[in-house]
Structure 1
Amino acid sequence: MDSTTLILVALGGLIIGFIVAKIMEKGRASKTISNAKKEANAILKEANLEGENVKKDKILQAKEKFLELKAEHEKVIINKDKKIAEAEKRTRDKESQVSNELAKNRKLNEQLDRKIKDVAHREEFFNKKQEELDKLHSNQVQQLEVISGLSAEDAKSQLMESLKETAKTDAMAYLQTTLEEAKLTAQQEARKIVINTIQRIGTEEAVENCVSVFNLESDDVKGRIIGREGRNIRAIEAATGVEIIVDDTPEAIILSCFDSVRREIARLSLHKLVTDGRIHPARIEEIVRKTEKQIEQEIVEIGKRTVIDLGIHGLHPELIKAVGRMKYRSSYGQNLLQHSREVAKLCGVMAAELGLNPKLAKRAGLLHDIGKVPNTEAEVETPHAILGMQWAEKYGEKPDVCNAIGAHHDEIEMKTLISPIIQVCDAISGARPGARRQVLDSYIQRLKDLEEIAFAFNGVQKAYAIQAGRELRVIVESEKVSDDKAAQLSFEISQKIQTDMTYPGQVKVTVIRETRSVNVAK
């Protein structure tokens, strides 16, 4: 075979091989496609099964949730039904109780009607008896007049003369008659006019330190403060012990009291009442009680600020409270807290110059007059320096401080170098021109003595000296003091004041007795 034939044969073989290869490749492709279709069908079938399962699960969950919500709803309905049944039961019980109460009230009304009729019959019977007694009495009086040869008035006069020392009620009437006769004499009246004039002049300086001006937004508020027939202003004065002066001064009223604490309580209480707008006796008493607690807290805060400002540490709480109370006390017209702060600063400077302990000197200087602050107990006749030393010892102060307090007026011997420093600084503070006024201090002491005399009697609940000491208002406990006893108590207090005290002019003693009945409506 030639080369051409070989080439042709080779080409033919190649073509045949190519065709065979294509045929085989096509068979494999169709087989792959068939397998892929089978797998796809299987996946779809599996997916459908899973979807059906998920659908069934969700349906079951929805049914369970529905049953759960239904059960909860039924519980709520049952609880509501139960509450409604309980409310209905309570209502039926209340209705039954009201019916029983109404029946009781009807029975009580019937009993009351019977008792009223019985009382009317008894009253008629007693009236008849009284008429008979009056006739018998008049007959007996006529017979006694015939027997004794005296008229009824003459016998009564002789009886009053013989019993006026023992019968206090008749003695008061006799004393009143004597006073009326004495007033008729011109000389006695002239003396009273002169004494009252001296008294008004003598209290001029005291008034500057014993009054506070309470400013108002308008004069319309004055009428609300006074109240219907003056009940509000009387309630304020009774609760605080402060005299309230309402005059023609525009947009202002005056609070008068020698005690600065009571005056401040009245001022703050009025401010709260006017701001709130509700002014009536019950509200007044409530506000005054709250204000008293507020003042007590403020006193403690003033004491704390004072000791912090002066750099004094470790002071007993009771002594801190006493320092705070100094703000509302005066000594010879000088504010006690300002005086004590001034003495403390002077003591600190002087002690530092002498090489002594300035903190200890400040401490003693601040506390040197705590004996002038009234204690919660009754005041005793002890010099204020000794009383202050006793308090300092009681509350754990050092011996040097206690000795300086007790010796600053030479009541005891000075044992430390701080003691003369306290004495000198106290004199420096009080010796400044205009620092002190003897008249004001004696005036305040006189008012305190007036109140103490009232408290010495049994049954006295409160006592307030007002109108610059010209009136003593005493509030008594209605359970312990009767109306007759109140008149007698007024007389006895006036006699005690007249015997034990020296004062200009007159002192009017007013005894107030009131009865309160309190019930609670539920």
Structure 2
Amino acid sequence: MPVEITAIIAVVCVACGAGIGFAIMKLRANGAAQRAQAEAQSLVEDAKRQAETFKREAKLEAKDEAMRLKQEMQAEQKERMKEVRKAEDRLDQRERLLDKRDETLNQRDDKLNDREHQISSLQGQLDRRSRDLEEAQREVGYKLEKVAGMTPEEAKRELLDSLKDQVAHESAAIIRDAEAQAKAEADKKARSILSLAIQRVAADHTAETTVSTIHIPSDDLKGRIIGREGRNIRSFEQLTGTNLIIDDTPECVTISCFDPVRREIGRVTMENLVADGRIHPARIEEMFGKAESLVNQRVQEAGEQAAFDTGIHDLHPEIIHTLGRLRYRTSFGQNVLNHSLEVAYLASVMASELGLDPIPAKRAGLLHDLGKAVDHEVEGSHAVIGADLARRFGEKPEIVHAIEAHHNDVEPESVLAVLVQAADAVSAARPGARKETLDAYVKRLEKLEEIANSYNGVERTYAIQAGREVRVMVEPDKVDEASTTVLAHDIAQRIENELQYPGQVKVVVIRESRAIGIAK
């Protein structure tokens, strides 16, 4: 019995243990499932996050790729636009060349037409002279018949006298025609040579005055420049031979002198003193010596460079030094050294066009204003002073004469002198080459308007473009269309006869009718 009970208890215990184990296993399985589900959920969420990350990265990469492609497209488009512009420029150049060729052909046609008219007029003159000769022959025959009772000697004298008068008359007519034609051809050739020389030669122009302004770091430095009781400024002015102006103008001092080389030496001296900061009489003297050496070296280099640029290598050293001083000399705001180089080039070009030796013309043009380097030291005109300098240093007589005659101090007696005169006038009269004073400028504009306003029918006049153009407004009821051309010509002729001006003045006559209505 106890054994059975024990077995039953054992069975029950086994069953309970199995139930408990099953329950524990089930609980463990549920926990594992829950953990697995949580892990799966976590993996899904991680996958979603990674997917979002990949999506964003893909979008960014796509945007970067799109931006790169856009930039490449823009760069390619710019390159294409450059090519298009280059093609357009080439087309414009070709169009301009075609226009020039067309203009040249038109000019040739005009010349041919002029030649045809001349030939026609000459043919008409020949026909008239043939008829006059036949009539003269008939008249001579009539006179011979009339004087048949004369002796042979008397008839011969009568015939010779009549033929002499007729031949003299015809010779005078032929000479007048030849002179007129030669003058026209000469004017045309001169204009062609001048225009060609101007086109081939262009020089820069600078505008300078008789003062130099020097910037200083602060106004406190002005007191040091003046020095105790003015000893520094007195020492500076005595050494440099210039006037030092110290006024209320902020942060600058002014150096004034009629001698451009002395003014340049003073400017360099003052700039070195300001940069050094030590200003006293001994230092001023030291800086003056250095500045004088530097400026003299620059003067020498400028003269040598001018001689080298023009290809003239046998000039006297004193002439080269004097020529270099023109670097700091101005005339009406035009740098005289640049002007001399331009005159040399213009004269040589015109001499070449005339079939002459361009070397003497270039030499005379380079030296024509040599006297301006020392005209403040020697009495007389710069042309005479320059001729004396050139004569003293061994220049040839024709060069000396061209220098002396370029402003008609003496009458020009050679083609070389006339060429230098013409080149000097062209260089000085070029627009923008020289300045004129304000008073002369205003008076010239007022005179232009006064001349135009003096004609009947002129309503008002405007001088524009610095006096290069005059616009004339006329009253339409007093001046008709045909009269505008005559009026423009008359005003231009009067301006040409009464005024002196560089270049050309264009006269534009404007006739305008207006009808005005007002709606209320």
With CA pairs under 8 Å and 6+ residues apart, which has the higher RCO, 1 or 2?
A: 1
TM-score over 0.5 (shorter chain)? no
